[in-house]
Amino acid sequence: MDESLINIRPLEEEHLRKSNWLNWLSDSETTQYQNLGYFPQNLIRQTNYINSKLLSNEDALFAIEVKNSNDKFIHVGNVGLHSIDFIHRRCILGILLGEKEYRGKGIGIYSWNFITNHAFKMLNLHKVYAFIFIENIPSIKCAESCGYRKEGELIDYYYRNGKYHDCAIYSKTS
């Protein structure tokens, strides 16, 4: 996808009301390799989540928007940094492309690079981690394309759909 069609901007509460965000979190395919969607999602729970995260210095959340054929930017996903730690100068990357028709077009890699640069160049962090379900091939490819290297695996780290899944830990150093 032409990168000029992608706009990454600070996440706002309005994103929750004006997009399909809540539906993304209830979609079992979208969340199958994510540590979320365990509890039924609703506006109150998600509004509380947003309000706590948007005021926190431990999280930096952005909306991924893409210009559609009507020349309007639509909210297709979120990308962010979590557990930001300014002592050890590390954080954990999170990404969710909720609108399925926009997957596989390079938006994941673009956003992954954006948020990694934000961690290093804006927040002066030293290391970004990504915790990835071992089965999540698109995520692993995003990590590797953006210069992350695999540090190891955590066995039975995630419980999902009645069984445990291993977690691959990827990281990139500034």
Ligand X SMILES: CC(C)(COP(=O)(O)OP(=O)(O)OC[C@H]1O[C@@H](n2cnc3c(N)ncnc32)[C@H](O)[C@@H]1OP(=O)(O)O)[C@@H](O)C(=O)NCCC(=O)NCCS
**In angstroms, what is the minimal distance from the CB of 54 to ligand X?**
20
- Residues 117-146 binding ligand X (CB under 6 A) are 130, 132, 136-139, 141-142, 145
**In angstroms, what is the minimal distance from the CB of 139 to ligand X?**
4
Please choose, from the candidates 141, 151, 51, 52, the residue with its C-alpha nearest in 3D space to the C-alpha of residue 92. Answer: 151
CA distance 110 to 62: 13
**In angstroms, what is the minimal distance from the CB of 87 to ligand X?**
25
* Complex with ligand X: residue 81 or 132, whichever CB lies closer: 132
**In angstroms, what is the minimal distance from the CB of 103 to ligand X?**
3
CB atoms within 10 A of CB 13: 12
**In angstroms, what is the minimal distance from the CB of 83 to ligand X?**
14
> Using CB under 6 A, which of the segments 5-13, 28-36, 51-59, 82-90 binds ligand X?
28-36
109 makes contact with ligand X (CB under 6 A): yes
106 makes contact with ligand X (CB under 6 A): yes
Distances (CA, A) of 20 to 1, 75, 98, 119, 120: 21, 8, 8, 27, 30
105 makes contact with ligand X (CB under 6 A): yes
For 37, phi then psi, to 5°, come to: 80, 15
- For every residue of 75-98, DSSP letters joined together read EEEEEEEEEEETTTTEEEEEEEE-
Quick one: which H or E segment has residue 107?
Answer: helix 107-117
Q: What residues make contact with ligand X under the rule CB under 6 A? A: 30, 33-34, 95-97, 103-109, 130, 132, 136-139, 141-142, 145
